[in-house]
């Protein structure tokens, strides 16, 4: 059994939204929380101290990526993932199922596992549930994920049902292979965009009695309405006292809507990926730093923001760095977007505690409309 604990601290009277404290080996995470992606042991262009200073509580890394490079043996020999990347807070690791399935064809998927060729050296690898757990055990993350089968979108119902059944069998194998009391192994819910299959997957995964649950296979091309319907169906069958991680969903409006359904943890590449493309998040709406209007703009990106990007640096200077392809631009814009996300999650938690999440949703809905205009 895992040493993890989860304590709900506030519950909305008008939705499933709640705030909570997730206690794991390397600290406590106040939820709802956003996890920046450190897939290869680094938040792209940012040092661990920078990320911690932005208010980030927990990171998500990827067992598949770290298995390929530098290898689980290297990370283990360096004292585990936390010490390897000099990160002192909690870390959740994904098994890498999404990445593995993106490299495999239908004939490469079998009951034993998934076969693919390494993009690093071309060697053939059989990725099994047991290997996925071994990697994460040796990395020493606080929360680990089982290997699951990731369905494409769209997919035929029969395929999705067979897939979720295989994911359940793999989940049992992962439980049997898991061997760390200081690491929590979550179960993963699949089921595509079929609400009844989502509910079935959630109910059967809950019967395996994991300490927490993840919902995978959403935000892969379906509409927001389909995503939310599938999420609601899954949430209806998961135990209310367990933490829930929604995998790969992370626009600000999606976070608010999914927090209202009871989701506790989010992860997405959006803050840092957008930064590398010159897209900056502010509470007045998205800002694209390459726009000519900022060429002589002396203002910071966001008045009142305390990130390194906004402390004394102008929009004009940041635009200059980006146009000059200076690596510093990636770092500064990424740290600003991370700070925006930690502020977003603080506002989400405060809104839940005050039962005013709809007010925050209204602001972000208008924010999203400005982004599309």
> Active-site positions?
94, 267
Count other C-beta atoms under 10 Å from residue 303's C-beta. 10
Percent of the chain at pLDDT exceeding 90: 93
| pLDDT the model gives residue 373 | 38
As a whole number, mean pLDDT of residues 40-59 equals 97
Count other C-beta atoms under 10 Å from residue 248's C-beta. 19
| pLDDT the model gives residue 371 | 59
pLDDT band per the 50, 70, 90 thresholds, residue 49: very high
- Rg of the chain, C-alpha, whole Å: 20
**pLDDT tens for each residue of 311-337:** 999 999 999 999 999 999 999 999 999
> How far is residue 151 from each of residues 128, 191, 227, measured CA to CA in Å?
17, 8, 14
What count of Cα atoms within 13 Å lies in the side-chain half-sphere of residue 79?
7
Residue 123 CB partners (closer than 8 Å, separation 6+):
117
| pLDDT the model gives residue 227 | 98
**pLDDT tens for each residue of 106-138:** 889 999 999 999 999 999 999 999 999 999 999
**pLDDT tens for each residue of 283-306:** 999 999 999 999 999 999 999 999
370, pLDDT greater than 80 = no
Domains belonging to the chain, first-starting first, are: 5-268 (3.20.20.105), 275-372 (no CATH)
The mean of the pLDDT values for the chain is 96
| pLDDT the model gives residue 104 | 86
Q: Is the dihedral of CA 292, 293, 296, 302 positive or negative?
A: negative
As a whole number, mean pLDDT of residues 169-198 equals 98
As a whole number, mean pLDDT of residues 152-162 equals 95
Which CB contacts under 8 angstroms, 24+ apart, belong to 251-256?
251/368, 252/281, 252/344, 252/364, 252/367, 252/368, 253/361, 253/364, 253/365, 253/367, 253/368, 254/219, 254/224, 254/227, 255/32, 255/34, 255/344, 255/345, 255/348, 256/348, 256/357, 256/360, 256/361, 256/364
**pLDDT tens for each residue of 336-356:** 999 999 999 999 999 999 999
DSSP 24: E
Q: What is the maximum alpha-carbon separation in the chain? A: 61
User: In the chain, count of helices (H) and strands (E)?
Assistant: 14, 16
369, pLDDT greater than 70 = no
């Amino acid at each position: 059994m895992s040493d993890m604990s989860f304590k709900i601290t506030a519950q909305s009277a008008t939705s499933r939204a709640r705030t909570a404290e997730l206690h794991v080996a390397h600290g406590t995470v106040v939820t709802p929380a956003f996890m920046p992606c450190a897939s290869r042991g680094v938040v792209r262009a940012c040092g661990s101290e920078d990320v911690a200073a932005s208010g980030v509580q927990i990171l998500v890394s990827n067992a598949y990526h770290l298995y390929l490079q530098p290898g689980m043996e290297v990370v283990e020999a360096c004292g585990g993932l936390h010490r390897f990347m000099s990160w002192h807070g909690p870390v959740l690791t994904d098994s890498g199922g999404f990445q593995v399935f993106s490299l495999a064809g239908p004939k490469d998927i079998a009951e034993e596992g998934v076969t693919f060729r390494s993009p690093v050296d071309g060697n053939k690898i059989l990725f099994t549930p047991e290997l996925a757990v071994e990697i994460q055990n040796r990395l020493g993350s606080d929360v680990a994920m089982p290997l699951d089968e990731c369905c494409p979108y769209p997919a035929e119902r029969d395929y999705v049902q067979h897939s979720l059944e295989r994911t359940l069998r793999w989940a049992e194998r992962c439980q049997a292979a898991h061997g760390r009391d200081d690491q929590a192994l979550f179960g993963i819910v699949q089921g595509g965009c079929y609400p009844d299959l989502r509910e079935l997957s959630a109910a059967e995964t809950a019967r395996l009695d994991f300490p927490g649950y993840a919902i995978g296979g959403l935000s892969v091309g379906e509409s927001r309405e389909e995503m939310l319907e599938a999420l609601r169906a899954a949430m209806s069958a998961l135990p209310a006292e367990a933490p829930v991680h929604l995998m790969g969903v992370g626009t600000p409006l999606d976070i608010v809507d999914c927090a209202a359904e009871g989701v506790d943890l989010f992860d997405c590449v959006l803050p840092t990926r957008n930064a590398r493309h010159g897209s900056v998040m502010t509470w007045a709406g998205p800002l694209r730093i390459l726009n000519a209007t900022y060429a002589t703009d002396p203002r910071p990106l966001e008045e009142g923001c305390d990130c390194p990007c906004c402390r004394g640096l102008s929009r004009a200077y940041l635009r200059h760095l980006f146009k000059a392809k200076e690596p510093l631009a990636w770092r500064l814009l990424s740290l600003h977007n991370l700070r925006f996300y930690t502020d977003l999650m603080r506002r989400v938690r405060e809104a839940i505690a005050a039962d005013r999440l709809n007010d925050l949703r209204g602001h972000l809905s208008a924010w999203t409309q400005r982004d599309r205009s």
